[in-house]
Amino acid sequence: MKFAVIVFPGSNCDIDMYHAIKDELGEEVEYVWHDATSLDGFDAILLPGGFSYGDYLRTGAIARFSNVMQEVVKAAEAGKPVLGVCNGFQILLEAGLLPGAMRRNESLKFICKNVELRVENNETMFSGSYKQGETIQIPVAHGEGNYYCDEETLTRLKENKQIVFTYTNNPNGSLADIAGIMNEQGNVLGMMPHPERAVDELLGGADGVKLFQSIVKQWRDSHVVKA
């Protein structure tokens, strides 16, 4: 399986993403610069955290217009796995690939610490290696991670089981304790916590590696050639 790690000016978790895929999973991975005009040949797309374009105007607002985002949209429409973490999640929201928006943390302070998440839906290509209701430790590092959407959208997210992860002790004020959501098709996931920073015990925990393993397992299962 071949992953693309999209790199924007201001990305700072791209190396973490690359390490998670290459060194922990042993899969193919390449960095792709934001002005790329093709993502052909890649099986999954990763949008890392950071401060794309300095977070000017609004987090993810400028990155959303990068050339590569047209290709990310095409990949999503083709059913390929697309994962956006932290700033990557914010970009997916700005691009309309996921519903809702991000506001400043309720405390108005930057938060950087380990948090506990609950797996709300383990029947997805991103969470299949977890148990339903399992609690995991994943770090967060953001100033604008306070997820918000209108009541109608929240109802739809719940009914369609699009809420994949929630906080057990909400650190930022996110509506309904939401930490990660996916699109209705189930192939685009955005989350504020950083699974790529929790893929090895040397990093303080390995609860995040199952997310990447889930993507690989789903892809392999769907590409098995039946005799």
Known catalytic residue at 86: yes
Q: Whole-angstrom Cα distance, residue 19 to residue 13?
A: 10
Strands 135-142, 44-47: pairing is unpaired
Per the CB < 8 A criterion, the answer to whether 72 and 113 are in contact is no
Distances (CA, A) of 155 to 3, 9, 150, 211, 221: 33, 36, 9, 25, 31
Of 86, 94, 142, 149, the catalytic one is 86
Q: What number of residues does the chain have?
A: 227
Helix (H, G, I), strand (E, B) or coil at 43: coil
Of 71, 120, 144, 196, the catalytic one is 196
> How is residue 195 annotated by DSSP?
G
Per the CB < 8 A criterion, the answer to whether 101 and 149 are in contact is yes
Known catalytic residue at 194: yes
Token pair for residue 67?
């050339």
Per the CB < 8 A criterion, the answer to whether 13 and 39 are in contact is no
In a 13 Å sphere around the CA of 188, the CA atoms on its Cβ side amount to 23
Catalytic machinery residues = 86, 194, 196
